[in-house]
Amino acid sequence: MKKVLVVSLLVTALIASLGVLSVAATTGAQTLTYEVTAINEISVSGTPSLTVITAVAGQDPTFVEDDTDNTYSVTTNSTSAKKITVGLNSDMTSGLTLLVKMASPTIGATGKDAYVDISNTATTAANVLTAITKTNGVENAAAITYKLSATAAAGVIASDTRTVTFTLTDD
């Protein structure tokens, strides 16, 4: 009886250890495919408003600027240079000049802190920032400044609007 009990215990232990070994040897594998596509994004915010209200006697009206809460953000992972162009949905009224200035992104670009005339850009947008290279996504809320000037010959112009379009494209 002792022999039968010892043999039964040995057989049970052997079967249990074989079960553990077979579970530990089970594996699976997958092939992972990945890709990072071109990312070129620009966004703008703010509600610029410009009203020419003063002049010095004998001179054209004084220009006005608006840099309050007008910002842009840009992200690109492109290896080729990009640029930001700005255009209007229709040209400015005769006698008005509209300028825009965009603070350069931290990644460096040409044209930074320089005003660009966008008064007549309904058909061809103006290059405002060029030579933009890869950013790391932290370029956020860089300043946009608008400047409006009028000649006395422009006369009185009722409140009007223009849509300003910013485009990130190949340089």
pLDDT mean by block of 10 residues, the chain; 171 residues: 53 54 77 92 94 91 91 87 94 96 71 85 93 66 93 94 96 86
pLDDT computed for residue 134 by the predictor = 73
β-sheet with 82-88: strand ranges across:
126-132, 82-88, 164-170
Break the chain into its structural domains and give their ranges. Answer: 40-170
Give the separation between CA 70 and CA 80, rounded to whole angstroms: 27
Total Cβ atoms within 10 A of residue 145: 17
Looking at residue 131, its pLDDT comes to 82
CB-facing half-sphere around the CA of 106: CA atoms within 13 A:
9
What amino acid occupies position 98? L
CA angle 159, 63, 98 (to 5 degrees): 65
Q: What pLDDT is attached to residue 107?
A: 57
Q: How far apart are alpha carbons 36 and 123 in whole angstroms?
A: 34
Contacts of 12 (CB under 8 A, 6+ apart): none
Q: What is the pLDDT of residue 3?
A: 59
Nearest to 77 by CA among 27, 156, 155, 139: 139
Q: What is the DSSP letter of 56?
A: -
Q: Is the pTM of this model over 0.85?
A: no
Backbone angles phi, psi at 116, to 5 degrees: -125, 130
Question: What pLDDT is attached to residue 158?
Answer: 95
Considering Cα of 146, then 152, then 156, then 157, what sign does the dihedral take? negative
Name which of 94, 89, 84 is nearest 142 in CA terms: 84
